[in-house]
Chain A
Amino acid sequence: MNLQGKQVTLHDMSLRDGMHAKRHQISLDQMVHIATGLDEAGMPLIEVTHGDGLGGASVNYGFPAHSDEAYLKAVIPQLKQARVSALLLPGIGTVDHLRMAYECGVTTLRVATHCTEADVSEQHIGFAAKLGMDTVGFLMMAHMVSAEKILEQARLMVGYGANCIYCTDSAGYMLPDEVSHKIGLLRAELPANVEIGFHGHHNLGMGIANSLAAIDAGASRIDGSVAGLGAGAGNTPLEVFVAVLERMGVHSGVDLYKIMDVAEDRVVPMMDQPIRVDRDALTLGYAGVYSSFLLFAQRAEKKYGVSARDILVELGRRGTVGGQEDMIEDLALTMAKEKGLI
């Protein structure tokens, strides 16, 4: 693979996807500490919100230590060059949340839908584009459908006003060939002024390989997370990715040693558990299940005595999509009843 001379925009997820791994309990000080470190390292874009996006604070997904507004207001004024993005899932967050984020200084709005349901994003993409925001359509669980379907849904989002489309491997299920095919088709068919992005999870250890395949196929934005802090086995670990990009001659503008230090000195010490491909995270990738289900399934295992792996495999078999965290406890209860445990 020859990527020599290419440019790529890296986008850090540790303060949004990483919220899943921290049960949304990152403190304001920790957020500022990590965000300023990333800013100094030259990271151009940093996402900050509840793990499930704006308005995610709930029993279903977990109540965060602080509101989205408090996090955004703490982080944004401290940054010298980095811009801040926010995620929004229609059905969870609303245009009211979007307006709040914009007023806090968020410049990039990413509207996330399941990969077949892009038409729920019209209100939010339209509104963000009208505000002049960098507006991204984020198609989740992209492994579940064909490249042609992803393209069809991407076109809807572009029609609503998105200037960038993401192919999102929420389950960490994809292998590099699939990434090449899907990103390649988007790049070939969408207008040249629409950027293409890739968001990976490391559940099958493919974060780096998939991200390289995405760049090779035409993606110019890549999500990752410093020290991999993210749902499941985490996102593509950015300090590793920056090192690989340097060796391949790809320009990201991020300083390798500085981001290595942010990972080691600021992020790893605050992890509640090592972010690694453990048995359950591997199951997510293998069975194609939404990565943020991991800790919920592990808690259900503890509470009801049924295996987290069995829960996750069954959720995959049922075609469960992002946001259906409520079905984890429901299924655990049903399985525990069947086994006579309750």
Chain B
Amino acid sequence: MSMLQGNKSAGRLTKRIIPCLDIKDGRTVKGTNFVDLRDAGDPVELGALYAQQGADELVFLDITATVEKRKTLSELVNKIAHHINIPFTVGGGISSVEDVQVLLQNGADKISVNTSAFKRPALLRELEKEFGSQCVVLAIDTKKEADGEWYVYLNGGRTKTEMKCTDWAYQAVELGAGEILLTSMNHDGTKSGFALDITRKLSDILPVPVIASGGGGTMEHFVDVFRNGHADAALAASIFHFKEIPIPDLKNYLAENGIVVRV
């Protein structure tokens, strides 16, 4: 296996590539193009395939609408933890220490919070105190408005706030967030490249890693977000699901362009 062959880029922390899987009622949604999978809707099977291909971490985002169906999430997390040998983050609808406890006990390495932390920032402090900041990822959906400022949006991008992205990120890290997952709504789904300016700004001012999300469409975009956006990690979904960019090709391309990656 290639991972056992070592690498010449010794002694440096690598930039991470993170596929994101949207989960609804325990199944992967948004569709996939993996004809070689027995069941493309099975998040465990898809996640294991990505891990085998060299993904550095995985994010599972639960978009299940109803609270009662969310109970299937902890069972799914348990199944993922049994089968996948790289770290993974679970997000979606988490709003309490108890929610996190269940997910971590079932084997999640990190959890991500978004709207619930914005509405009650003390949640971040509680999670940090109970579990440590290394497992607390704050997801921020942000949009650049006509005034040129990036604002925080809630509820999956449906609700605008008056909070500037940088202010919220800075405050959240002070409270205990150990990583920031930054999604640019202006770029998400466009495949026109990541939001380099806000990613770079956050990454340069914050003492914690920033995961860039939204807009990755070509392998050059990933080089850009690491080199010019100063991102610590980059997340994408459909380009991996539809095999537009195979992970091994992306890793090799990054390495050829001087980005330190695990290949």
Is B a genuine binding partner of A? Answer: no
